Chain A
Amino acid sequence: MKEFIYFAFKNTKFKIGLTILLFFLILAIIGPYISYYKDPLEYVSMSNLPPSRENWLGTTTFGQDVFTQFVYGLRSTFFIGLFGGGLATIIGLLIGFIAGYKGGLLDDLLMMLTNILIVIPTLALLIIIAAYLPYRGIGIQSVIIGLTAWPWTARAVRAQTLSLRSREFVNLAKITALRPLKIVLEEIAPNMMSYVVMVFILQFAGAILAAVGLDFIGLGPTRGISLGLMMQYSVLWNAIQLGMWWWFVPPGLAITMIVSSLYFLNIGLDEIFNPRLREE
Chain B
Amino acid sequence: MIKAKNLTKVFNSGFLFSKNTITAVDEVNFEIGRGEILALVGESGSGKSTIGKMMLKLLKPSGGQILLEDKDIFSISNNKEFYSKVQGIFQDPYSSFNPIFKVNRIFKLVRQSFKKEVPASEWNDRVENVLKKVGLNAGDVLNKYIHQLSGGQLQRLLIARALLMDVEVLVADEITSMLDASTRVDVLEALLSLKEIGAAIMFITHDLSQAYYISDKIVVLYRGSIVEMGSIEKVFSNPRHPYTQMLLDSIPQLDRKWETDKFDIEDSNKNQTIWKEGFCKYVDRCPIADTTCIKPAIKLIEEDHYVACAKL
Contacts and interface: CB of A to CB of B under 8 A. Distances in A.
Nearest to B80: A177
Interface residues of B, number: 31
A273 interface: yes
Contact of B58 (A174, A178, A191, A273): A174
Contacts of A175: 56, 58, 83, 86-88
B113 A176 contact: yes
Contacts, number: 64
A41 B90 CA distance: 67
Contacts of B82: 177
Contacts of A169: 95-98
B258 interface: no
A175 B80 CA distance: 9
Nearest to A104: B15
A178 B109 contact: yes
Residue from the set A105, A168, A173, A175 with the largest chain B CB neighbour count within 10 Å = A175
Given A172-B106, A174-B58, A176-B113, A167 B95 contact: yes
Given A168-B96, A191-B98, A275-B100, A177 B87 contact: no
A92 B158 CA distance: 36
Interface string B109-125: 11001100000000000
B147 interface: yes
Contacts of A54: none
A177 B111 CA distance: 11
Contacts of B80: 177
Contacts of B113: 176-178
A108 B90 contact: no
Interface string B55-68: 01110000000000
A176 B58 contact: no
B284 interface: no
Interface in A76-132: 105, 108
A171 interface: yes
Nearest to A4: B100
A257 B92 CA distance: 44
A190 interface: yes
Nearest to B145: A275
A276 interface: yes
Contacts of B100: 190-191, 273-275
Nearest to A174: B58
B245 interface: no
B87 A275 contact: no
Interface in A30-70: none
Interface in A144-182: 167-169, 171-178
A187 interface: yes
Nearest to A173: B109
Contacts of B15: 105, 108
Contacts of A191: 98-100
B83 A176 contact: yes
A122 to B, nearest CB: 28
Nearest to B16: A108
A176 B92 CA distance: 17
A111 B263 CA distance: 49
6 contacts: A105-B15, A168-B90, A171-B90, A177-B82, A275-B100, A276-B147
Instruction: Please provide the 8 A-B residue pairs with the shortest distance between their CB atoms, ordered closest to farther.
Output: A168-B96, A168-B95, A177-B79, A177-B83, A177-B80, A169-B98, A168-B90, A167-B95
Interface of B: 15, 53, 56-58, 79-80, 82-84, 86-88, 90-92, 95-101, 106, 109-110, 113-114, 145, 147, 158
